[in-house]
Amino acid sequence: MIVFVTTFGQKGGVAKTCTSIHLAAHWANAGRSVVLVDADRNRSATAYASRGLLPFAVVPMEAAAKATRSADIVVTDGQASSNEEELKNLVEGSDFIVLPTTAQSRSIELTVEMACMLNKFDIPYAALIVKADTRKKSSIQIAREILQGFDIEVLRTEIPLLNAFENAETEGVTVDRAVTKNGRSDRRRMSGFYAYSKACDEIELLMPHRKVIPMPIGWNVSRLEDRCA
C-alpha cells in the first residue's frame, strides 16, 4: 500500500520543501521506494533535486500518477495556497499531513488557522517545529504549549536552525552531506539529519495502520511476477 505524506502550510520559507526533502531522504535511505511530488508552482523541490544528488525521484504534480505507481511512500511538497479547493484536494489525497512551524508568533497563528481547517477532515496531522534556535529554548517551549493548547499534535522532535540546511540546498544534497563555504564537512550537519529521521519515526507511530516498516538491506522488494526466474 502506498502511504501519502504531505507537507504544507504557510508561505514564506517555513521549511516546507526542506522538510519534504528530508522526510523523503530518510525513508529512501531506509530502503523504501520514495517519490517526492512537487505540488508547488515555484518548483523549489524540483530545483533542489536538479543536480541529481538526492536518493529519490522528484516529479511535478502533473507527472505524479505514473511516477508513483510503484512507490511505497509518496511525499508531497504542498503549495502554500489559500485556495480552499486546492487545499481540500491536497488534504484528501494525504494519509498524513506535516505542518512545519517556527517559534515565531505569526507562524504559530498560521498553523492554528490551518489546523482549524484540517479539523474538518478525518486526516491525521501534526505540527513540526522547525528552524528551532537552540539558544531560545523557552520560546520554543512556549510555541509548543500554545499549539498544544489548541489541541494540535506537535511532534516531540524539533528541527534545529542550522546553516548546514542552506549549504545543503545550495549543493543539491541532503543536510548530512552539507559542507561549509570553505569546503569542510559541516560540524552540525548530522544533528539536522537525525532530527528529521526522528520526526519520521514519530510520523510512522501516528499512522498506526499504515506503518512504514524499514526494509532490511538486501531485500528484493520488486513484485514477484517482475523478477527473473
Ligand X SMILES: Nc1ncnc2c1ncn2[C@@H]1O[C@H](COP(=O)(O)OP(=O)(O)O)[C@@H](O)[C@H]1O
Map 93-154 to HEC letters: CCCEEEEEECCCHHHHHHHHHHHHHHCCCCCCEEEEEEEECCCCHHHHHHHHHHHHHCCCCE
Q: Please name the residues in contact with 6: beta carbons below 8 A apart, sequence gap of 6 or more.
A: 75, 76, 78, 90, 91, 93, 94, 96, 97, 98
Single out the segment in contact with ligand X by CB under 6 A; choices: 30-38, 120-128, 135-143, 154-162: 154-162
CA separation for the pair 174, 193 (Å, rounded): 8
Minimum CB distance to Mg ion, residue 39 (Å): 10
Minimum CB distance to Mg ion, residue 44 (Å): 4
Of the two residues 33 and 101, which places its CB atom closer to ligand X in the complex? 101
Of the two residues 14 and 25, which places its CB atom closer to ligand X in the complex? 14
Q: What angle do CA 211, 224, 64 make, to 5 degrees?
A: 60
26 counts as binding ligand X under rule CB under 6 A: no
Of the two residues 27 and 165, which places its CB atom closer to ligand X in the complex? 165
131 counts as binding ligand X under rule CB under 6 A: yes
Residue 55 exposure: Cα atoms within 13 Å on the Cβ side: 16
Cell digits of residue 5 = 505524506
56 counts as binding ligand X under rule CB under 6 A: no
Of the two residues 14 and 212, which places its CB atom closer to ligand X in the complex? 14
Of the two residues 190 and 215, which places its CB atom closer to ligand X in the complex? 190
Per CB under 5 A, which of residues 6..45 are in contact with Mg ion?
16-17, 44
CA separation for the pair 204, 212 (Å, rounded): 6
102 counts as binding ligand X under rule CB under 6 A: no
CA separation for the pair 45, 42 (Å, rounded): 8
Minimum CB distance to ligand X, residue 132 (Å): 7
Minimum CB distance to ligand X, residue 22 (Å): 9
Of the two residues 82 and 220, which places its CB atom closer to ligand X in the complex? 82
CA separation for the pair 200, 113 (Å, rounded): 24
Which residues sit at the interface with ligand X, rule CB under 6 A? 13-18, 44, 130-131, 159, 161-162, 165-166, 169
Which residues sit at the interface with Mg ion, rule CB under 5 A? 16-17, 44
